[in-house]
Amino acid sequence: MRHSIKFLLGDEPRELSSFDPTMTVLDYLRIEERRTGTKEGCAEGDCGACTIVVGSLEGEKIRYQAVNSCLQFLPTLDGRQLISVEDLPDSSGALHPVQTAMIRENASQCGFCTPGFVMSLFALYREGAAAGDPPELETINDVLAGNLCRCTGYGPIIEAARSMHQPAAGPDHFEQNSAATVAALRAIQDSQTIHLTGPDGRQSFAPTTTDALAEILAEHPGATLVAGATDVGLWVTKAQRRLDPVIFLDRLGEMKQVNETATTIEIGAAVTYTDVERMMADHYPDFGEIIRRLGSPPVRNVGTIGGNIANGSPIGDSMPPLIAAGATLVLRRGGERRQLPLEDFFIDYNKQDLKSGEFVETITLPKPAPGSRLFCYKISKRFDQDISAILGAFNLTIRDGKVASVRIAYGGMAATPRRASGAEAALQGKAWTRKTVDRAVVALASDFRPLDDLRASAAYRMQVAGNLLVKAYLEAQGAGVETRIIPYREAAHA
């Protein structure tokens, strides 16, 4: 057990032992460190004014990722490097190439959003530094999907992103110092569970093994698990909940792994969207696209599929594709594990089949069967960074003109993500024709009583649910009709 957290703030080591375990990194920077360069524009992950970059050790290298500090809890910094806008100039005060490019292109006006944009672009710069090529416009748009600016109209910021890798710039100081930073980070890695007690007595744990997690959770069955905190963060900042105790999952090496066999993909519950996106796009291109549209890069860099499932929102994006693909969960309590099909996990609104002291350990899905295809469609007001009104996933195998197998799941159509068993029955074994599909569309009406809310009316959802099935049919015909506003971008970003 360790009773403190250790991290680097820029290049400076920090060790903290008594603090509020759900203090956000934003509050820490602004209030404790008096580093006010990082701003709050919304405190809910929507604007990017609070963007920071977190460096994590991966082998001999440091991986830099943009994160929304308004939703990130301080203990998740353990073992990492926290980089805020103040760290970007080098020790002589010379600006970072990202900053120089922003000035050159007139990419800052009032300056309030600026640190957030600088940090998002800095993460892109670091990841693309080796390549040295100017990023594609699409990549830039993806990277900036979570940053809002009300003054500049973005054009100059995009120009800055395009021109930040000027060949003359040479390695930035992060690159130059990387050996020292790697060594400093290595020195603060260990496999001890962190146990902290805040000034008001609230506790938090950050275990490094699944066994330790199981043990702590057995002891504190009422604890709140925190993976990426992109849901839990809002409970604290918006709903003012005082969580006690809290168990952080981000140090769990085992649960952050993806294991592939010839026929299955096993995803640890703490794997982030970013880490699964590429692989998923290879197997299930549509699912990969859904992940690319989920939140923004800072949300995907920390948000997990496990968290999405455990949170169990009826409009969570990863569940319908997973259910349609035939995913199963491994749930663990103490030393006991049980396995269940993902669709059986959701009982009712806000009610999951998760026993006290139990947690989601892994999610397993089969690789696509030969001849099958998974179609996924997310309907939201905006393309990026928006919550779904409805999401449809259709896993179909057509053989000899007949529906050999079918699994259909929707989000936004009921109090939980759910299969459309009536529609499935109307398709299973039948001739794969528009007529059959129309019958299945009719069957949807008995499968669901859709949500009726601000995002969409029940009638709209029902109509769209049917249309999406028809769309899958049309696309399966390969008729060459344009069915997507923006086609899946194979190599949009690595």
Ligand X SMILES: Cc1cc2nc3c(=O)[nH]c(=O)nc-3n(C[C@H](O)[C@H](O)[C@H](O)COP(=O)(O)OP(=O)(O)OC[C@H]3O[C@@H](n4cnc5c(N)ncnc54)[C@H](O)[C@@H]3O)c2cc1C
The verdict on 46 binding ligand FES (CB under 6 A) reads yes
Partner whose binding site includes residue 398, from ligand FES, other proteins, ligand X, none (CB under 5 to 8 Å by kind): none
Alpha-carbon gap, residue 396 to 285, rounded angstroms: 14
Q: Taken in order 226, 228, 230, 234, is the CA torsion positive or negative?
A: positive
Judge contact between 151 and 109, C-beta under 8 A.
yes
CB of 439 to ligand X, least distance (A): 31
Structural Rg of the chain based on CA atoms? 23
The beta-strand segments (E) located in 342-471 are 346-348, 351-352, 358-366, 372-379, 390-399, 402-411, 418-419
The residues near 410 (Cβ < 8 Å, ≥ 6 apart) are 320, 390, 391, 392, 393, 417, 418, 420, 448, 465
Residues numbered 102-141 forming contacts with other proteins, rule: CB under 8 A: 102-104, 106, 108-115, 118, 140-141
Partner whose binding site includes residue 303, from ligand X, other proteins, ligand FES, none (CB under 5 to 8 Å by kind): ligand X
Alpha-carbon gap, residue 142 to 294, rounded angstroms: 11
User: What b/e sequence results for 326-340 when a residue is b if at least 16 CB atoms lie within 10 Å of its CB, and e otherwise?
Assistant: bbbbbbbbeeeeeee
CB of 54 to ligand FES, least distance (A): 14
The verdict on 387 binding other proteins (CB under 8 A) reads yes
Structure tokens at 35: 């580093």
User: What b/e sequence results for 136-156 when a residue is b if at least 16 CB atoms lie within 10 Å of its CB, and e otherwise?
Assistant: eeebbbbbbbbbbbeebebeb
Partner whose binding site includes residue 70, from ligand FES, ligand X, other proteins, none (CB under 5 to 8 Å by kind): ligand FES
Nearer to other proteins, 113 or 443 (CB): 113
User: Please, what is the end-to-end C-alpha distance for the chain in angstroms?
Assistant: 37
Alpha-carbon gap, residue 279 to 367, rounded angstroms: 11
Residues numbered 66-95 forming contacts with ligand X, rule: CB under 6 A: 71
Alpha-carbon gap, residue 274 to 303, rounded angstroms: 8
Partner whose binding site includes residue 168, from ligand FES, other proteins, ligand X, none (CB under 5 to 8 Å by kind): none
CB of 492 to other proteins, least distance (A): 12
Total number of residues binding ligand X (CB under 6 A)?
Answer: 30
CB of 160 to other proteins, least distance (A): 10
Stretch that binds other proteins, among 100-108, 174-182, 275-283, 411-419 (CB under 8 A): 100-108
CB of 297 to other proteins, least distance (A): 12
The verdict on 157 binding other proteins (CB under 8 A) reads yes
Q: What is the largest CA-CA distance in the chain?
A: 72
The verdict on 425 binding other proteins (CB under 8 A) reads no
Nearer to ligand X, 98 or 331 (CB): 331
Judge contact between 56 and 219, C-beta under 8 A.
no
Residues found near other proteins in the complex (CB under 8 A) = 30, 34-44, 46-47, 49, 84-86, 88-89, 95, 99, 102-104, 106, 108-115, 118, 140-141, 144-145, 147-158, 240, 381-387, 454, 482, 485
Residues found near ligand X in the complex (CB under 6 A) = 44-46, 71, 224-232, 249, 269, 294-295, 299, 303-304, 306-308, 310-311, 316-317, 359-360, 387
